[in-house]
Chain A
Amino acid sequence: MFEIRLHSRGGQGGVTAAKLIAYAAFLDGKYATATPLYGAERRGAPVVSFIRIDDEPIRIYSQIRNPDLVIVLDESIMQLVDVLHGIKPDGEVLINSQKGTEVEGHRTYPVDLTGISLALDLVLAGNPILNTPLIGAISKLGVISQASAKQVIAETFRDERNVEAALRAYEELKI
């Protein structure tokens, strides 16, 4: 089982992003679950979502304690939350960062999702859309296939620029 913990702030679309990643895995023929951890639901508050992907039906509902991958959609959260808590020794980290932030002891993939989104003017209610570039980046890591990533974006977003955002993130993320 591959387990992802996604850290974001309320209003950034982290909950939707988790659903879309799981949906892409579903399209890949895997079993997948996405669960938001609901706390005080308010804009700007730290939010955690969980994604599980497996070849077998998933029987676990409790929170992910030892993630294989940690996604950080807002790096300022790292000052408030220990995003690496419980991460597997070989666990990896994907950070939405304009300044190439890395974490010690874990393979880090910094990618400027916000910059990609803003460059394409992908803004919803004042916030840059991070879902679609994130899906592109995740597909680069091989968590989901490129084909499923494209299909999820095509089914969910009408605006063609979302596909472009995913492609740019795919290109930008260095493995």
Chain B
Amino acid sequence: MLTFGTGNKAVAMAARDAKPVVVAAYPITPQTEIVEEIANFVTDGTLAARYIPVESEHSSMAACIGAAATGVRTFTATSSHGLVYMCEMLHMSAGARLPIVMANANRALGPGWNIGAEHSDSMSMRDTGWLQVYVSTVQEAYDATMMAFRIAEHTDVLLPVMINLDGFLLTHITQTFETVEPDDFIPPTATPHAIDIKNPGGYGTLTPGNVHFKFRYDIERGMRASIPVIEETEAEFARRFGREYHLYEEYRCEDAEVVIIAMGTLGKEMEVAVDILRDEGVAAGAVRMRWFRPFIVPDLDGKDVVVIDREYSFGYGGILAGELQAKSGCRPFSVIAGLGGQEVTYDDIAEFVRIRRPGTEHWFGVDD
């Protein structure tokens, strides 16, 4: 059904359509509308889920863990301080191989208080064992949330998935989007290690060093196995519902001599910058990274690379730029822009390309 609404609403509707059994909810700006919408769905009966109004984000992930451990589908949403507050439980949920799906409204961390878009929250959770996808439109927020359940619950993966959408820029923008009838696109949950009273086991017991690493390695196996599962899921989604997604999205890259790389809404707006640059005779292209975990390296051979990071790893650099450099060997012009909702326009992005100096870092608004 073609409809019109915010990014938050799209996420809530996708979660509703995926029919979770348990939803844990705690409010935080700019995600709150998601848990409010789901409360409405549960109240009006369009979603037959147990809605647990927890007392903290640490507990929202804990409640999802408890529910998912019994083998049922779970969903929650958070943002910013809420996400980092549940950090411990992110490690626990991935370690326990529970296919929990969570939306995260990317938002800056204090102090000072700032509710604008920034990727510091989710990027600082990158080593928890969660899959992370970053979306750039309201439609993609819906679609990625829907696909997240199928990917997370796939028995080759069994890892939680975080859908990241830029706070306000995407959570609060109103756009056209189309909902779908998932039918059997998401098969029923079949968690092989769900708690079984008839076959009692100890979960997460003391695990000595001579076996602990095997469980860690197994998480990595799930992460690596997720790549073909994501590709297969996105292909099946396109076949059924007609919308195509890839591990990363290329825009006018075929003959590009310089590519801009970003995630989230900047990854969409930069397409306009590419068009402007092309009109100026610059062979520009863009690569929008969708999946940050697993990390998939685009082919950047022989191209100048401009990476925009909407976060920063203090004492190191832009995280996306650093990871791309480490994995691809490129020498990016690393731009740090958009922190705390800092306004970045397509003109600004085009300018980043014009002033690029490979191998250097540029803080937008500081180094101008």
Q: Do A and B come from one complex?
A: yes
- A residues lining the B interface (CB < 8 Å): 18-19, 22-23, 26, 31-36, 38, 57-63, 65
From B82-90, B91-99, B173-181, B313-321, the one touching the partner chain is B173-181
B154-174 contacts to A, CB under 8 A, are 166, 168-170, 172-174
Q: Which residues from chain B contact A57 at a C-beta distance below 8 Å?
A: 137
Q: Which of A22, A38, A62, A65 gathers the greatest number of chain B CB atoms within 10 Å?
A: A62
Q: Which of B176, B271, B346 gathers the greatest number of chain A CB atoms within 10 Å?
A: B176
- Tell me if B174 and A61 are in contact (CB < 8 A): no
Q: Which residue of B lies closest to A24 (CB)?
A: B4
- Tell me if B173 and A59 are in contact (CB < 8 A): no
- Tell me if A38 and B115 are in contact (CB < 8 A): yes
Q: Which residue of B lies closest to A57 (CB)?
A: B137
- Tell me the minimal C-beta distance from A150 to chain B in angstroms: 16
**Does B344 make an interface contact (CB < 8 A)?**
yes
A65 with B345: in contact, given A38-B168, A59-B272 (CB under 8 Å)?
yes
What 4 pairs between A and B have smallest CB-CB spacing?
A62-B345, A34-B174, A61-B265, A26-B4
**Does B269 make an interface contact (CB < 8 A)?**
yes
Given contacts A35-B172, A62-B344, 18 further A-B contacts (CB under 8 A): A19-B174, A23-B174, A26-B4, A31-B175, A32-B176, A34-B173, A35-B174, A36-B172, A38-B30, A38-B115, A38-B168, A59-B268, A59-B272, A61-B169, A62-B343, A62-B345, A62-B346, A65-B345
How far does the alpha carbon of A62 sit from the alpha carbon of B264 in the complex, in Å? 13
Q: Which residue of B lies closest to A15 (CB)?
A: B172
Q: Which residues from chain A contact B30 at a C-beta distance below 8 Å?
A: 38
- Tell me if A59 and B269 are in contact (CB < 8 A): yes
- B residues lining the A interface (CB < 8 Å): 4, 30, 115, 137, 166, 168-170, 172-176, 265-266, 268-269, 271-272, 343-346
A35 with B345: in contact, given A59-B269, A59-B272, A60-B272 (CB under 8 Å)?
no
Q: Which of B115, B173, B266, B269 gathers the greatest number of chain A CB atoms within 10 Å?
A: B173
Helix, strand, loop or mixed for chain A's interface?
mixed
Contact residue among B174, B265, B343 (Cβ-Cβ distance under 8 Å from A22): B174
How far does the alpha carbon of A78 sit from the alpha carbon of B140 in the complex, in Å? 38
How far does the alpha carbon of A32 sit from the alpha carbon of B173 in the complex, in Å? 10
- Tell me the minimal C-beta distance from A38 to chain B in angstroms: 6
The 18 sampled A-B contact pairs (Cβ below 8 Å) are: A18-B174, A26-B176, A31-B176, A32-B174, A35-B168, A38-B172, A57-B137, A59-B269, A59-B272, A60-B269, A60-B272, A61-B173, A61-B268, A61-B269, A62-B343, A62-B345, A62-B346, A63-B345
Q: Which residues from chain B contact A35 at a C-beta distance below 8 Å?
A: 168-169, 172-174
- Tell me the minimal C-beta distance from B71 to chain A in angstroms: 39
Q: Which residues from chain B contact A31 at a C-beta distance below 8 Å?
A: 175-176
Q: Which residues from chain A contact B346 at a C-beta distance below 8 Å?
A: 60, 62
Q: Which residue of A lies closest to B264 (CB)?
A: A61
- Tell me the minimal C-beta distance from A37 to chain B in angstroms: 9
A58 with B4: in contact, given A38-B115, A38-B168, A65-B345 (CB under 8 Å)?
no
Q: Which residues from chain B contact A19 at a C-beta distance below 8 Å?
A: 174
- Tell me if A33 and B175 are in contact (CB < 8 A): yes
Contact residue among B168, B170, B175 (Cβ-Cβ distance under 8 Å from A58): B175
Q: Which residue of B lies closest to A35 (CB)?
A: B173
- Tell me the minimal C-beta distance from A8 to chain B in angstroms: 16
